[in-house]
Structure 1
Amino acid sequence: MTVAPASAATGSNRFREAREEEWRRLEAILATAERKSVRALSDEDLLALPVLYRGALSSLSVARETSLDLELITYLEGLCARAYFFVYGVRTSAWSRAATFFGRDWPDAVRSLWKETLIATLLLVVGAVAGALLVGADPVWYHAFVPAELANGRDFGAETAFLRDTLYGAEEENGLGVFAAFLFTHNSQVAIFCFALGFAFGVPTAMLLVYTGAMLGAMMTLFASRGLALEFGGWVAIHGTTELFAIILAGAAGLRIGWAIVFPGDLPRLAAATKAGRMAATAMAGVVLMLFVAGLLEGYGRQLITSDIVRYMIAGTMLLVWAGFYYLPRRRTA
């Protein structure tokens, strides 16, 4: 009974002595590659790397099966994990990954959502029309669609001069950054809710899109009733072509997940939702960037640019840029 531990220790020492030279060489190769790059390795080291990795894996397997000391097993597990990423891992630079995301992954994800994008656009338009008709028939509906904190005095009780000033009145220059950050946060929350609520069969996402459209339609009706429809359109459009496009895409991503849960096809519901979620999440990563641009246009451009023509020109340009980026065909590299 007292000999077993000594025998185990002796076996572990012999096992280590027989293979430690190979482990040390593998560790030295990995250290060089991690400190510099794989290109810093010699041809001999590159050829030896996979052989030494397989040897370390074999040693780890033996160590586990024969219950050698835990310290040795832990060391081999770490060594094998490090070697795995150099033998089988894909090594690309941050710039290469960013180029792949912007050049392929993001636009591909958005294009794959084209059906859901059309549905989300339709829901937004239906909400805008409904909001405009209801508020036009009875202004009391205005407060049902536009929260008081967002209206900020812009309602049917306001004077026309005040409403006009809200479209052209410049904010204090040192407050523009804070205002832009607030708007970016608010718009991001709306888009994230559109996406996140998709898991509930897409119903809350659809309702949020309709409500967003109704809010826009209600405000348009207010300003149109004072002869400021064209001016309000420019005020909204300078950032709206980016912001609303982003919210539509977020809604489309949420609808894709909800659709996958309701109609999973041949896959289990969880697997179908996971598959849809990967593509939708890629699109959402791009949506956040769009909202950042919209926040800058809303917080800075809209406050500094007071010409209606310039506002509409910027709005049209941004819409063409986003549409071209997503939907124009592009050359594929192998």
Structure 2
Amino acid sequence: MDLDVFAAAHRPSWERLDHLVRRRRRLSGAEVDELVELYQRVSTHLSVVRSSGQDPVLVGWLSGLVARARSAVTGAHEPAWRDVTRFFVRTFPAILYRLRWWWVTASLSALAVSIGVAAWIATNPEVTSAIGPPEQIRAYVENDFANYYVEHPGASFAAQVWTNNAWVAAQALILGVFLCLPTVYVLLLNAVNLGVAGGLMFAHGKGDVFLGLIIPHGLLELTAVFVAAGVGVKLGWTLIAPGARPRLQALAEEARPAIAVALGLVVVLFVSGLIEGLVTGWVHITWLRIAIGVAAEVLFLAYVFVLGRAAHSAGETGDIDARPQTAPVVG
């Protein structure tokens, strides 16, 4: 075969295909049909040129043209921003609403533990004295607790608490797959630590300072941790009691939405980190910083129980739409 003659005969088709590929977002219906036809024709040309082995440069150029044409023909998809919008408007809130009883139960259980520990410490001086030396506790109550929120620049502190809280939430969520126990431990550890801090502050007449500094960021931050813990417990319980589904199938069906929750909580914790880093220690009007924290929590709950309920009622599950329907088996 004379490759030069072949190329000269078909180059107009190649250039036309290249032109259509370059303006693929503005094609008319007839041009789309032409694009598909030329893609098939030039794919055949590529096979002929490649089999001749005479011109690697031409083979490379045609290969690139065919690959771009294939992408134009088969690779159409919605813009990425639509996927992000769908995730935060439908997928994430729908999952939170569907799993609401799991994280609401985790929230109430953890708060009960925190309040119980705080009350025990605040009403029993011997317990307070057993926690640490009097001078150390006095320094914590009088200075260290409040100074924690202002000892670092606001932006860097916000990034620090965001990273720490994201790590705690990730532990609570992911470790739930080990039959719930590690998640319960993480949840109880955080609840006890909160209770100890609150008990010490109330025992020394600093309860107003404690609430004034915890509420602004703590409402949203703790809710995010409780959500992670609730979803983690759900994962573990799915392994324990999968119902009529095979155990691994049930775990996969719950793990996919759990990953979506983890991604969404990154944003929630980012907001709570901003509040902790830029509001808690730096807004000196107590009612104002509490109002900011309450507003953030109310908005989150409305996001779940209004937007999430609507998406859930519309059939949104949070699972992957294009997931395989069957698992591969041998034989």
CA-based RMSD: 3.9
Cα distance in 2 for residues equivalent to 1:252 and 1:73: 57
- TM-superposed CA distance for 1:298, in Å, is 1.0
1:307 maps to what in 2?
285
1:328 partner SS? helix
Q: Deviations over 1:194-223 (max 9, x none)?
A: 122122122211211111111111111110
- Conserved 8 A contact 1:238-1:315: yes
Cα distance in 2 for residues equivalent to 1:235 and 1:319: 15
Matched, 1:211 2:200: no
- TM-superposed CA distance for 1:228, in Å, is 1.4
2:240 maps to what in 1?
262
Cα distance in 1 for residues equivalent to 2:151 and 2:306: 38
Cα distance in 2 for residues equivalent to 1:199 and 1:18: 63
Q: Structure 1: which 5+ residue stretches go unaligned?
A: 1-9, 144-154
Calculate the TM-score normalised by the size of structure 2. Answer: 0.74
Q: Deviations over 1:5-42 (max 9, x none)?
A: xxxxx699999999887666444433333xxxx12x24
| Pairing of 1:124-163 with structure 2 (within 5 A) | 124-132=110-118, 135=121, 137=124, 138-139=127-128, 142=131, 157-158=135-136, 160=138, 163=141
- TM-superposed CA distance for 1:271, in Å, is 3.2
Cα distance in 2 for residues equivalent to 1:19 and 1:256: 61
Cα distance in 2 for residues equivalent to 1:252 and 1:156: 37
Which residue type is aligned with residue 191 of structure 1?
A: A
- Conserved 8 A contact 1:264-1:272: yes
- TM-superposed CA distance for 1:83, in Å, is 4.3
**Structure 1 188/12 Cα, relative in aligned 2: closer, same or farther at 3 Å?**
farther
Q: Deviations over 1:80-137 (max 9, x none)?
A: 6644543444533344333222221221121122122123213422431453356455
1:249 maps to what in 2?
227
- Conserved 8 A contact 1:239-1:298: yes
- TM-superposed CA distance for 1:191, in Å, is 0.8
Cα distance in 2 for residues equivalent to 1:21 and 1:245: 63
- Conserved 8 A contact 1:116-1:256: yes
Cα distance in 2 for residues equivalent to 1:75 and 1:104: 43
Cα distance in 2 for residues equivalent to 1:166 and 1:49: 70
**Structure 1 206/169 Cα, relative in aligned 2: closer, same or farther at 3 Å?**
closer
Cα distance in 1 for residues equivalent to 2:230 and 2:70: 38
| Pairing of 1:83-102 with structure 2 (within 5 A) | 83-102=69-88
- Conserved 8 A contact 1:125-1:213: yes
Q: Structure 2: which 5+ residue stretches go unaligned?
A: 316-331
Which residue type is aligned with residue 280 of structure 2?
A: R
Higher relative contact order, chain-length normalized (CA < 8 Å, sep 6+): 2
**Structure 1 205/69 Cα, relative in aligned 2: closer, same or farther at 3 Å?**
farther
1:146 maps to what in 2?
none
Cα distance in 2 for residues equivalent to 1:295 and 1:52: 54
User: Sequence identity, in percent?
Assistant: 26
Calculate the TM-score normalised by the size of structure 1. Answer: 0.74
- Conserved 8 A contact 1:127-1:212: no
| Pairing of 1:115-126 with structure 2 (within 5 A) | 115-126=101-112
**Structure 1 270/168 Cα, relative in aligned 2: closer, same or farther at 3 Å?**
same
Cα distance in 2 for residues equivalent to 1:328 and 1:162: 41
2:255 partner SS? helix
| Equivalent residues, number | 305
Matched, 1:32 2:18: no
- TM-superposed CA distance for 1:291, in Å, is 1.0
2:167 maps to what in 1?
189
Cα distance in 2 for residues equivalent to 1:17 and 1:265: 67
**Structure 1 80/126 Cα, relative in aligned 2: closer, same or farther at 3 Å?**
farther
Q: Deviations over 1:164-213 (max 9, x none)?
A: 44455597697222222221221111111112212212221121111111
Identify which range, 247-256 or 83-92, moves more after superposition: 83-92
Q: Deviations over 1:306-325 (max 9, x none)?
A: 33322322222111111011
Matched, 1:109 2:95: yes
Equivalent of 1:220, from 189, 198, 202?
A: 198
